[in-house]
Chains A and B, each alone.
Chain A
Protein backbone atom coordinates (compact mmCIF):
# COMPACT_ATOMS: atom_id res chain seq x y z
CA UNK A 1 0.00 0.00 0.00
CA UNK A 2 1.06 3.59 0.44
CA UNK A 3 2.78 2.71 3.72
CA UNK A 4 5.69 0.98 2.03
CA UNK A 5 7.82 1.04 -1.09
CA UNK A 6 10.28 -1.31 -2.77
CA UNK A 7 13.98 -0.54 -2.26
CA UNK A 8 16.62 -2.95 -3.60
CA UNK A 9 13.95 -5.65 -3.99
CA UNK A 10 12.81 -5.24 -0.38
CA UNK A 11 9.50 -3.87 0.89
CA UNK A 12 10.58 -0.92 3.04
CA UNK A 13 8.23 0.95 5.40
CA UNK A 14 8.06 4.72 4.83
CA UNK A 15 9.73 5.64 8.11
CA UNK A 16 12.96 3.93 7.03
CA UNK A 17 15.55 5.56 4.76
CA UNK A 18 16.23 2.33 2.84
CA UNK A 19 16.34 -1.47 3.20
CA UNK A 20 19.59 -1.39 5.21
CA UNK A 21 18.13 1.11 7.68
CA UNK A 22 15.07 -1.12 8.11
CA UNK A 23 17.18 -4.29 8.50
CA UNK A 24 19.47 -2.76 11.15
CA UNK A 25 16.55 -1.23 13.07
CA UNK A 26 14.66 -4.52 13.12
CA UNK A 27 17.73 -6.38 14.39
CA UNK A 28 18.30 -3.79 17.10
CA UNK A 29 14.77 -4.49 18.32
CA UNK A 30 15.51 -8.20 18.49
CA UNK A 31 18.68 -7.58 20.50
CA UNK A 32 16.72 -5.42 22.96
CA UNK A 33 14.31 -8.33 23.33
CA UNK A 34 17.29 -10.65 23.95
CA UNK A 35 18.48 -8.39 26.81
CA UNK A 36 15.05 -8.82 28.44
CA UNK A 37 15.32 -12.60 27.99
CA UNK A 38 18.69 -12.58 29.78
CA UNK A 39 17.11 -10.60 32.62
CA UNK A 40 14.07 -12.90 32.89
CA UNK A 41 16.06 -16.15 33.05
CA UNK A 42 18.86 -14.39 34.96
CA UNK A 43 16.52 -13.65 37.87
CA UNK A 44 15.75 -17.37 38.18
CA UNK A 45 19.46 -18.25 37.95
CA UNK A 46 20.30 -15.80 40.75
CA UNK A 47 17.50 -17.18 42.92
CA UNK A 48 18.83 -20.69 42.31
CA UNK A 49 22.41 -19.71 43.19
CA UNK A 50 21.36 -17.98 46.43
CA UNK A 51 19.17 -20.84 47.68
CA UNK A 52 21.80 -23.35 46.56
CA UNK A 53 24.41 -21.72 48.78
CA UNK A 54 21.89 -21.72 51.66
CA UNK A 55 20.88 -25.40 51.28
CA UNK A 56 23.67 -27.17 49.35
CA UNK A 57 22.80 -30.67 50.68
CA UNK A 58 19.11 -30.30 49.83
CA UNK A 59 19.96 -29.19 46.25
CA UNK A 60 22.36 -32.12 45.89
CA UNK A 61 19.56 -34.48 46.96
CA UNK A 62 17.22 -32.92 44.38
CA UNK A 63 19.75 -33.22 41.56
CA UNK A 64 19.96 -36.99 42.23
CA UNK A 65 16.40 -37.33 40.92
CA UNK A 66 17.47 -35.99 37.51
CA UNK A 67 18.94 -38.24 34.84
CA UNK A 68 21.92 -36.35 33.40
CA UNK A 69 21.90 -38.62 30.32
CA UNK A 70 18.55 -37.18 29.23
CA UNK A 71 19.83 -33.63 29.80
CA UNK A 72 22.96 -34.53 27.84
CA UNK A 73 20.96 -35.85 24.85
CA UNK A 74 18.78 -32.74 24.94
CA UNK A 75 21.92 -30.55 24.93
CA UNK A 76 23.18 -32.30 21.79
CA UNK A 77 19.74 -31.99 20.15
CA UNK A 78 19.57 -28.25 20.86
CA UNK A 79 23.13 -27.61 19.63
CA UNK A 80 22.33 -29.43 16.40
CA UNK A 81 19.11 -27.42 16.05
CA UNK A 82 21.08 -24.18 16.50
CA UNK A 83 23.41 -25.32 13.73
CA UNK A 84 20.52 -26.04 11.34
CA UNK A 85 18.88 -22.72 12.30
CA UNK A 86 22.08 -20.87 11.37
CA UNK A 87 22.08 -22.78 8.06
CA UNK A 88 18.47 -21.67 7.46
CA UNK A 89 19.79 -18.10 7.33
CA UNK A 90 22.94 -19.05 5.42
CA UNK A 91 21.02 -20.73 2.57
CA UNK A 92 18.72 -17.72 2.21
CA UNK A 93 21.78 -15.48 2.03
CA UNK A 94 22.95 -17.75 -0.82
CA UNK A 95 19.51 -17.67 -2.54
CA UNK A 96 18.89 -21.39 -1.96
CA UNK A 97 15.39 -21.37 -0.44
CA UNK A 98 14.80 -25.14 -0.80
CA UNK A 99 17.85 -25.98 1.32
CA UNK A 100 16.88 -23.23 3.76
CA UNK A 101 13.39 -24.74 4.19
CA UNK A 102 14.97 -28.15 4.85
CA UNK A 103 17.29 -26.64 7.46
CA UNK A 104 14.35 -24.91 9.16
CA UNK A 105 12.34 -28.16 9.07
CA UNK A 106 15.23 -29.98 10.76
CA UNK A 107 15.29 -27.26 13.42
CA UNK A 108 11.58 -27.70 14.22
CA UNK A 109 12.08 -31.48 14.32
CA UNK A 110 14.93 -31.09 16.84
CA UNK A 111 12.70 -28.83 18.94
CA UNK A 112 10.03 -31.56 18.89
CA UNK A 113 12.57 -34.23 19.97
CA UNK A 114 13.64 -31.96 22.82
CA UNK A 115 10.03 -31.52 23.97
CA UNK A 116 9.28 -35.27 23.78
CA UNK A 117 12.29 -36.02 26.00
CA UNK A 118 11.15 -33.24 28.38
CA UNK A 119 7.66 -34.76 28.42
CA UNK A 120 9.04 -38.14 29.53
CA UNK A 121 11.20 -36.48 32.19
CA UNK A 122 8.25 -34.53 33.59
CA UNK A 123 5.75 -37.42 33.58
CA UNK A 124 8.31 -39.66 35.28
CA UNK A 125 8.72 -37.08 38.06
CA UNK A 126 4.95 -36.65 38.46
CA UNK A 127 4.71 -40.44 38.70
CA UNK A 128 7.18 -40.39 41.62
CA UNK A 129 5.17 -37.64 43.34
CA UNK A 130 7.70 -34.93 42.51
CA UNK A 131 5.97 -31.58 42.06
CA UNK A 132 7.21 -28.02 42.61
CA UNK A 133 7.21 -26.44 46.07
CA UNK A 134 4.56 -27.44 48.57
CA UNK A 135 2.89 -29.73 46.03
CA UNK A 136 5.77 -32.22 46.37
CA UNK A 137 4.33 -35.42 47.84
CA UNK A 138 6.42 -35.97 50.99
CA UNK A 139 4.85 -39.38 51.75
CA UNK A 140 5.71 -40.73 48.31
CA UNK A 141 9.14 -39.13 47.85
CA UNK A 142 10.28 -39.50 51.50
CA UNK A 143 13.06 -36.91 51.07
CA UNK A 144 15.93 -36.51 53.53
CA UNK A 145 15.34 -32.76 53.43
CA UNK A 146 11.74 -31.71 54.05
CA UNK A 147 12.16 -28.56 51.93
CA UNK A 148 13.08 -30.52 48.79
CA UNK A 149 10.09 -28.88 47.07
CA UNK A 150 12.13 -25.68 46.86
CA UNK A 151 14.65 -27.38 44.56
CA UNK A 152 11.88 -28.72 42.34
CA UNK A 153 10.21 -25.31 42.37
CA UNK A 154 13.34 -24.00 40.67
CA UNK A 155 13.64 -27.08 38.46
CA UNK A 156 10.10 -26.88 37.10
CA UNK A 157 10.08 -23.07 36.76
CA UNK A 158 13.41 -22.89 34.97
CA UNK A 159 13.04 -25.90 32.68
CA UNK A 160 9.32 -25.13 32.22
CA UNK A 161 9.94 -21.54 31.16
CA UNK A 162 12.68 -22.81 28.89
CA UNK A 163 10.36 -25.47 27.44
CA UNK A 164 7.72 -22.80 26.80
CA UNK A 165 10.37 -20.88 24.84
CA UNK A 166 11.14 -23.99 22.79
CA UNK A 167 7.42 -24.37 21.94
CA UNK A 168 7.09 -20.69 20.96
CA UNK A 169 10.33 -20.95 18.98
CA UNK A 170 9.00 -23.99 17.09
CA UNK A 171 5.83 -22.03 16.15
CA UNK A 172 7.92 -19.05 14.98
CA UNK A 173 10.25 -21.23 12.91
CA UNK A 174 7.23 -22.94 11.31
CA UNK A 175 5.90 -19.47 10.44
CA UNK A 176 9.14 -18.34 8.73
CA UNK A 177 9.41 -21.77 7.06
CA UNK A 178 5.96 -21.27 5.46
CA UNK A 179 7.00 -17.79 4.33
CA UNK A 180 10.24 -19.26 2.98
CA UNK A 181 8.28 -21.83 0.96
CA UNK A 182 6.03 -19.00 -0.29
CA UNK A 183 9.14 -17.27 -1.65
CA UNK A 184 9.20 -14.24 0.64
CA UNK A 185 12.94 -14.36 1.34
CA UNK A 186 16.12 -13.84 -0.70
CA UNK A 187 19.71 -12.77 -0.10
CA UNK A 188 18.67 -9.16 0.47
CA UNK A 189 15.69 -9.87 2.71
CA UNK A 190 15.57 -12.57 5.40
CA UNK A 191 15.05 -10.38 8.50
CA UNK A 192 12.25 -12.51 10.04
CA UNK A 193 14.42 -15.66 9.82
CA UNK A 194 17.37 -13.85 11.37
CA UNK A 195 15.17 -12.52 14.20
CA UNK A 196 13.59 -15.91 14.89
CA UNK A 197 17.08 -17.45 14.63
CA UNK A 198 18.50 -15.12 17.29
CA UNK A 199 15.54 -16.07 19.52
CA UNK A 200 16.19 -19.79 18.91
CA UNK A 201 19.91 -19.42 19.69
CA UNK A 202 19.17 -17.69 23.01
CA UNK A 203 17.07 -20.76 23.91
CA UNK A 204 20.13 -22.89 23.18
CA UNK A 205 22.30 -20.47 25.14
CA UNK A 206 20.07 -20.70 28.23
CA UNK A 207 20.02 -24.50 28.04
CA UNK A 208 23.85 -24.53 27.85
CA UNK A 209 23.80 -23.07 31.39
CA UNK A 210 20.71 -24.92 32.63
CA UNK A 211 22.20 -28.34 31.82
CA UNK A 212 25.21 -28.14 34.18
CA UNK A 213 23.23 -26.12 36.74
CA UNK A 214 20.31 -28.56 37.12
CA UNK A 215 21.71 -31.92 36.05
CA UNK A 216 25.43 -31.92 36.87
CA UNK A 217 26.29 -29.53 39.68
CA UNK A 218 22.98 -29.88 41.51
Chain B
Protein backbone atom coordinates (compact mmCIF):
# COMPACT_ATOMS: atom_id res chain seq x y z
CA UNK B 1 0.00 0.00 0.00
CA UNK B 2 0.93 3.60 -0.24
CA UNK B 3 2.72 3.26 -3.56
CA UNK B 4 1.25 5.81 -5.92
CA UNK B 5 1.56 4.64 -9.46
CA UNK B 6 2.11 7.14 -12.16
CA UNK B 7 -0.26 6.40 -14.96
CA UNK B 8 1.94 6.16 -18.02
CA UNK B 9 5.11 4.40 -16.87
CA UNK B 10 4.35 0.84 -17.85
CA UNK B 11 5.84 0.63 -21.32
CA UNK B 12 6.79 -2.99 -20.72
CA UNK B 13 3.21 -3.85 -19.83
CA UNK B 14 2.41 -5.58 -23.09
CA UNK B 15 3.19 -8.98 -21.64
CA UNK B 16 -0.06 -8.78 -19.65
CA UNK B 17 -2.30 -7.33 -22.36
CA UNK B 18 -4.04 -10.64 -22.89
CA UNK B 19 -5.13 -10.76 -19.23
CA UNK B 20 -6.84 -7.36 -19.39
CA UNK B 21 -9.68 -7.61 -21.88
CA UNK B 22 -11.30 -4.25 -22.60
CA UNK B 23 -14.97 -4.52 -23.60
CA UNK B 24 -15.89 -1.72 -26.05
CA UNK B 25 -18.11 1.02 -24.59
CA UNK B 26 -20.95 0.42 -27.06
CA UNK B 27 -21.17 -3.24 -26.01
CA UNK B 28 -21.96 -2.13 -22.45
CA UNK B 29 -24.60 0.28 -23.80
CA UNK B 30 -26.19 -2.45 -25.93
CA UNK B 31 -26.26 -4.90 -23.02
CA UNK B 32 -27.83 -2.28 -20.72
CA UNK B 33 -30.49 -1.44 -23.34
CA UNK B 34 -31.23 -5.15 -23.81
CA UNK B 35 -31.58 -5.62 -20.04
CA UNK B 36 -33.99 -2.66 -19.78
CA UNK B 37 -36.01 -3.96 -22.75
CA UNK B 38 -36.22 -7.46 -21.25
CA UNK B 39 -37.39 -6.00 -17.92
CA UNK B 40 -40.22 -4.18 -19.74
CA UNK B 41 -40.98 -7.44 -21.60
CA UNK B 42 -41.25 -9.26 -18.23
CA UNK B 43 -43.78 -6.73 -16.98
CA UNK B 44 -45.69 -6.77 -20.30
CA UNK B 45 -45.95 -10.57 -20.11
CA UNK B 46 -47.11 -10.21 -16.50
CA UNK B 47 -49.93 -7.84 -17.52
CA UNK B 48 -51.36 -10.44 -19.93
CA UNK B 49 -50.58 -13.44 -17.70
CA UNK B 50 -54.21 -14.71 -17.79
CA UNK B 51 -53.75 -15.39 -21.50
CA UNK B 52 -50.37 -17.05 -21.01
CA UNK B 53 -51.38 -19.62 -18.38
CA UNK B 54 -49.98 -22.08 -17.54
CA UNK B 55 -46.73 -20.74 -19.02
CA UNK B 56 -46.55 -17.30 -17.39
CA UNK B 57 -44.04 -18.40 -14.73
CA UNK B 58 -41.94 -20.25 -17.31
CA UNK B 59 -41.89 -17.13 -19.53
CA UNK B 60 -40.90 -14.86 -16.61
CA UNK B 61 -38.00 -17.12 -15.60
CA UNK B 62 -36.89 -17.69 -19.20
CA UNK B 63 -36.57 -13.93 -19.65
CA UNK B 64 -34.75 -13.71 -16.30
CA UNK B 65 -32.31 -16.40 -17.48
CA UNK B 66 -31.51 -14.44 -20.65
CA UNK B 67 -30.96 -11.31 -18.52
CA UNK B 68 -28.72 -13.29 -16.15
CA UNK B 69 -26.67 -14.54 -19.10
CA UNK B 70 -26.13 -10.97 -20.34
CA UNK B 71 -25.03 -9.78 -16.88
CA UNK B 72 -22.66 -12.72 -16.32
CA UNK B 73 -21.18 -12.79 -19.83
CA UNK B 74 -20.68 -9.06 -20.43
CA UNK B 75 -20.85 -7.13 -17.14
CA UNK B 76 -18.99 -9.80 -15.17
CA UNK B 77 -16.76 -10.50 -18.20
CA UNK B 78 -17.19 -14.28 -17.89
CA UNK B 79 -17.27 -14.47 -21.71
CA UNK B 80 -13.62 -13.40 -21.67
CA UNK B 81 -12.59 -15.27 -18.54
CA UNK B 82 -10.41 -18.35 -18.17
CA UNK B 83 -12.05 -21.76 -18.42
CA UNK B 84 -11.10 -22.32 -14.78
CA UNK B 85 -13.22 -19.36 -13.64
CA UNK B 86 -16.08 -20.52 -15.84
CA UNK B 87 -15.87 -24.01 -14.33
CA UNK B 88 -15.82 -22.53 -10.81
CA UNK B 89 -18.93 -20.42 -11.41
CA UNK B 90 -20.85 -23.20 -13.17
CA UNK B 91 -19.96 -25.64 -10.37
CA UNK B 92 -22.05 -23.46 -8.04
CA UNK B 93 -25.11 -24.11 -10.21
CA UNK B 94 -24.31 -27.82 -10.55
CA UNK B 95 -24.23 -28.29 -6.78
CA UNK B 96 -27.41 -26.23 -6.53
CA UNK B 97 -29.09 -28.61 -9.01
CA UNK B 98 -27.90 -31.54 -6.88
CA UNK B 99 -29.39 -29.93 -3.77
CA UNK B 100 -32.66 -29.30 -5.61
CA UNK B 101 -32.97 -32.84 -6.99
CA UNK B 102 -32.16 -34.62 -3.73
CA UNK B 103 -34.31 -32.30 -1.58
CA UNK B 104 -37.27 -32.58 -3.96
CA UNK B 105 -37.00 -36.37 -4.05
CA UNK B 106 -36.92 -36.47 -0.26
CA UNK B 107 -39.87 -34.14 0.19
CA UNK B 108 -42.11 -35.88 -2.33
CA UNK B 109 -41.28 -39.48 -1.48
CA UNK B 110 -41.28 -39.14 2.30
CA UNK B 111 -42.70 -36.00 3.86
CA UNK B 112 -45.70 -35.25 1.62
CA UNK B 113 -46.69 -38.94 1.69
CA UNK B 114 -47.26 -39.16 5.43
CA UNK B 115 -47.23 -35.81 7.12
CA UNK B 116 -49.24 -32.65 7.48
CA UNK B 117 -46.13 -30.42 7.48
Contact = CB atoms under 8 A, between A and B. Distances in A.
Q: Closest 9 interchain pairs by CB?
A: A35-B92, A9-B10, A38-B92, A212-B60, A42-B96, A20-B16, A83-B32, A31-B85, A8-B13
Contacts of A83: 28-29, 31-32, 35, 75
Interface string B74-117: 11110001101100110111011001100110010000100001
Nearest to B9: A9
A90 B22 contact: yes
A217 B60 contact: yes
Q: What class of interface size applies to chain A in its complex with B?
A: 35 or more
Interface of B: 1, 3-10, 12-13, 15-16, 18-20, 22-23, 25, 28-29, 31-32, 35-36, 39, 42-43, 46, 49, 56-57, 60-61, 63-64, 67-68, 71-72, 74-77, 81-82, 84-85, 88-89, 91-93, 95-96, 99-100, 103-104, 107, 112, 117
B32 A75 contact: no
A34 B89 CA distance: 7
A46 B107 CA distance: 12
B5 A186 contact: yes
A146 interface: no
B19 A217 contact: no
Contact of B85 (A27, A43, A93, A204): A27
A122 interface: no
A213 B63 CA distance: 12
Interface in A179-214: 182-184, 186-189, 194, 197-198, 201-202, 204-205, 208-209, 211-213
Given A28-B84, A188-B10, 9 more contacts: A8-B16, A27-B81, A42-B93, A54-B117, A86-B74, A183-B4, A197-B76, A209-B61, A209-B64
Contacts of B56: 217
Interface of A: 6, 8-11, 18-20, 23-24, 27-28, 31-32, 34-39, 42-43, 46, 49-50, 54, 68, 72, 75-76, 79-80, 82-83, 85-87, 90, 93-95, 182-184, 186-189, 194, 197-198, 201-202, 204-205, 208-209, 211-213, 216-217
B92 A10 contact: no
Interface of A is mostly: helix
A188 B13 contact: yes
A79 to B, nearest CB: 5
Contacts of A72: 39, 43
Contacts of A6: 3
A70 B73 CA distance: 27
Nearest to A80: B32
19 contacts: A8-B13, A10-B10, A11-B3, A11-B5, A28-B82, A28-B88, A34-B92, A42-B93, A75-B39, A79-B32, A80-B32, A82-B35, A87-B25, A93-B22, A204-B75, A205-B68, A205-B72, A209-B61, A216-B42
A203 B35 CA distance: 15
Contacts of A28: 82, 84-85, 88
Contact of B99 (A42, A87, A204): A42
